[in-house]
Structure 1
Amino acid sequence: MDAAFSAEQGEIRRTLREVITKRCGPDEVRAAVRTPAGHDSALWSALAEQLGLPGLALPDTYGGVGCTTAELALGSEELGRALAPTPLLATAVLAAPLILALGTEEQRAALLPRIAAGELTAALAVPGTGLATALGLAGDNRGDWAGGGRAGGVQARHQDGVWRLYGQAEQVVDGHSAGLLVVAAHVGGFARSRTLLFLVREGAAGMVRTRQTALDETRTQARVELRDVEAELLGTDRAAEGGEGIDVPDALAAVGDIAATVVAAELVGAADQVLERTVDHVQQREQFGRAIGSFQAVKHRLADVYVQVQAARSAAYYAAWAAGAEAAGFGGQGAERAGGLALAQGLDALRTAASEAVQLHGGIGFTWEHEAHLYFKRAAGDELLFGPVHRLRARAAERAGLFADHEPPAEGAAPAASEAPAAPAGAGLGEAV
């Protein structure tokens, strides 16, 4: 693995930082999230037209730039530094890759160029509150999270040549303003149970979208209610024709790894920024006639945060490289999907950095109006969406087979050395004397 970035990747980082620094300060962020769209539409247009950010990881065949997950992660790291509210995660990370992977050629040609140009925003809607499960981050996504044929979830039925959806999704990132929804729904009842993805356009009859009050207001969420909404199947349902069906869980898991990597990079950028501002503050704030940053206890606390942020950055960069390696067909077993672990590391880093910022800023740090709380809420909100941390790590361990069950020893066989009972205290001392 080559950890050095190319000149083009460095240019992406530098250009984005210049734009974000000028147009996305704390006051601008608070103003943007209170708009009906939940983000600054002018900033999004600039990011799309001048930098091609929505199409950064899309093939140039569909109007994209043709870069990899690494470039997308670098861009997201810069957005994370300012907690810039944009539809990038919902549109370019969650929805667009699914259209690219599963859509028909007609669907790709009609939708992806508009997404790459920033003209169309999209969102992924999964039933209930199971986004982390659907993406394969917090558990196996081949279960009945889409409804399983029972009440609840989102059900799809094919009638008179038209697909119709009925159900509800609770945590749809940017779902209230997206022009296109990619909806996961259960089809086939009990006999041929499976999950498929459907496209629902803005303004579809029977769809009600309500913006939710989220803990992290910079990551807008919506509740989407579907009442016999006409939808278009994403791809082709070959299983209905007696062929092999679309492997939606595998596609969602692949997108989940990329999403975890991108969110991890966002968290690293946010943690780095909040650490930088905290260091500036402790160098200026004085107590007992000297800057509090000169106290050894404060130095130790910030040094620990720095180490944790750098570890999270390394994990995010490795996950981005591994995702690109898997897409290119090399990288080796075990280097394929590291997004979940990188996300867990990033969540821990930002939560620690934001907590220290709140405390070291003193009385002002404990007020809701202080920007440190925006970063603290981002860590807490992302963990509610994509975590929790212990489940992210448990899922990664499960996939790696770290805790696979071992075959019990045959009856009468001697136990293995690792399973043998420990010798009593003092055993063998007599022979040594």
Structure 2
Amino acid sequence: MDARFTDEQDEIRRTLRELLTKRCGPEELWAAVDTPAGHDRALWATLAERLGLPALALPEAYGGVGCSATELALACEETGRALAPTPLLATAVLTAPLLLALGTGAQRAALLPPIASGHLTAALAVPGAALATALALTGHDRRGRWAGGGRAGGVQARRAEGGWRLYGQVEQVLDGHSAHLLVVAAHTGGFARSRVLPFLVSGDAAGLTRARQTALDATRPQGRIQLRDTPAELLGGEAVDVLTALARLGDTAAACLAAEAVGAADRVLERTVAYVARREQFGRPVGSFQAVKHRLADAYVQVQAARSAAYYAAWATTEAMAADAMAADATAVCAIAAEATVGPAAEATAAHAPAPAPAPARAPEDTAGGLALAQALEALRRAAAEGIQLHGGIGFTWEHEAHLYFKRAAGDELLFGPVHRLRAHAADAAHVFEEAGT
């Protein structure tokens, strides 16, 4: 692993930090979260058009930049520093990869270019508070029971004349109240032969009702969606394996979330160090007391360790995705060659030719994303807590910025954790306790 960043990656971070410093200060942040959408649409347009943020990890064939998950994670680190309320996570991290992996050629061509340009925002709707399970971060349910199991609850899909219809309700959908497009995980086939399939629902579809919910973290707006005989389009075909796709998506999402949490932790720690250097008590700066130095040093070490873990997770995800792409290309070449092979002599040659080695199965659980996310969330919670305490009385006021960082850590744990379950799932996947017991 080469831990050095390229010039292009450094430029992405520098440009994005400069822009967010100018456009996403405390006053702009509060104004954005108070809007119905929960984010500054003008800022999002600038991020998309000037920096190509939603296009970073999309192929150039669909209007993307053609970068990898590493660049997307670096961008998330900078948006995390500013707690910028944008549709980046819901659109570019959680939804666009699913469209790319599962969509038909026509669906990708129709949806990915407007996502890359920032004109189309999207959200992933997973029934109940099961997003972490669906992404295989705190467990991997290979039967999709998190989506309702075919019983009442969740979202049900049935065939109708001219397509599909969806029924049900989904809570806690990130940007679900404002996204132009929803990707909804729904059950089909009733209870006996139930399975989970992904569906596309337009934001203005008939029978769709949406409302913004009150969330612990106001910078991470969530919505409730209700589906009543709502027309939907199947994403891909009925043969798609959405559970595996979601599990693989989970590793990319965890790496981006970890980088985002690291950016937030670094920023709140930076502000705390600056404050204790100028705040005086007993005639000397608070930061000069050894006990305060020790606390901040411990938090700094924790943040730097979390940063290393987040960068490694992003790198590992990029390498795994590259290996998957190479395996898919090799399979396609072999299929084309097989179709072009005709005649008895060619059949005999093909029969004795060595078969291409199958790509090694990449279990979604055997990844670094979950552990990196656990470490980053813990570092953010620690840095934010120290910030609140070391700011003294002003730090305990509800309006102080340190509370926003603490709420981000707590809110992300509710959505994607908690930390102990992230670590427990990683340990189970690696069979740590089984090996220790032998």
TM-score, normalized by length of structure 2?
0.89
Partners of 1:149 and 1:377 lie apart in 2 by 35
| Alpha-carbon shift at residue 405 of structure 1 (Å) | 7.8
Are 1:384 and 2:414 counterparts? Answer: yes
2:398 corresponding residue in structure 1: 368
| Alpha-carbon shift at residue 403 of structure 1 (Å) | 2.7
**Is contact 1:344–1:393 with CA below 8 Å preserved after alignment?**
yes
| Alpha-carbon shift at residue 160 of structure 1 (Å) | 2.1
Q: Which runs of 4+ in 1 moved over 3 A?
A: 330-336
| Alpha-carbon shift at residue 133 of structure 1 (Å) | 0.9
Partners of 2:208 and 2:133 lie apart in 1 by 24
Q: For residues 38-187 of structure 1, what are the structure 2 equivalents within 5 Å?
A: 38-142=38-142, 143-187=144-188
3-state SS of 1:186 partner? strand
**Is contact 1:257–1:340 with CA below 8 Å preserved after alignment?**
yes
**Length, aligned pairs only:** 401
TM-score, normalized by length of structure 1?
0.90
Q: For residues 232-271 of structure 1, what are the structure 2 equivalents within 5 Å?
A: 232-237=233-238, 245-271=239-265
**Is contact 1:354–1:373 with CA below 8 Å preserved after alignment?**
yes
| Structure showing the higher helix proportion among its residues | 2
| Alpha-carbon shift at residue 328 of structure 1 (Å) | 1.1
2:230 corresponding residue in structure 1: 229
Listed as ranges, the gaps of 5+ residues in structure 2 are 327-359
| Alpha-carbon shift at residue 129 of structure 1 (Å) | 1.4
3-state SS of 1:177 partner? coil
Tell me which structure has the larger Cα radius of gyration. 1
- The code of the aligned residue for 2:63 comes to G
Question: Deviation per CA, 1:179-217, whole angstroms, max 9, x where unpaired?
Answer: 000000011123322110000001111111110000000
- The code of the aligned residue for 2:267 comes to Q
**Is contact 1:323–1:336 with CA below 8 Å preserved after alignment?**
no
2:316 corresponding residue in structure 1: 322
Partners of 1:272 and 1:160 lie apart in 2 by 54
| Alpha-carbon shift at residue 282 of structure 1 (Å) | 0.5
- The code of the aligned residue for 1:52 comes to G
- Over aligned residue pairs, what C-alpha RMSD do you find? 1.7
Partners of 2:141 and 2:219 lie apart in 1 by 27
| Alpha-carbon shift at residue 336 of structure 1 (Å) | 6.0
3-state SS of 1:329 partner? helix
Question: Deviation per CA, 1:102-153, whole angstroms, max 9, x where unpaired?
Answer: 0000000000000000000000001111111111111113241111111101
**Is contact 2:78–2:260 with CA below 8 Å preserved after alignment?**
yes
Listed as ranges, the gaps of 5+ residues in structure 1 are 238-244, 407-417, 420-433
Aligned match for 1:341, one of 371, 381, 390: 371
3-state SS of 1:404 partner? helix
| Alpha-carbon shift at residue 178 of structure 1 (Å) | 0.1
| Alpha-carbon shift at residue 229 of structure 1 (Å) | 0.5
**Is contact 2:366–2:426 with CA below 8 Å preserved after alignment?**
no
Partners of 1:115 and 1:199 lie apart in 2 by 14
**Is contact 1:322–1:336 with CA below 8 Å preserved after alignment?**
no
**Is contact 1:134–1:145 with CA below 8 Å preserved after alignment?**
yes
Partners of 1:160 and 1:228 lie apart in 2 by 12
Partners of 1:170 and 1:141 lie apart in 2 by 20
Are 1:195 and 2:196 counterparts? Answer: yes
| Alpha-carbon shift at residue 326 of structure 1 (Å) | 0.1
**Is contact 2:188–2:195 with CA below 8 Å preserved after alignment?**
yes
Question: Deviation per CA, 1:270-291, whole angstroms, max 9, x where unpaired?
Answer: 0000000000000000011100
**Is contact 2:140–2:247 with CA below 8 Å preserved after alignment?**
no
Partners of 2:106 and 2:226 lie apart in 1 by 27
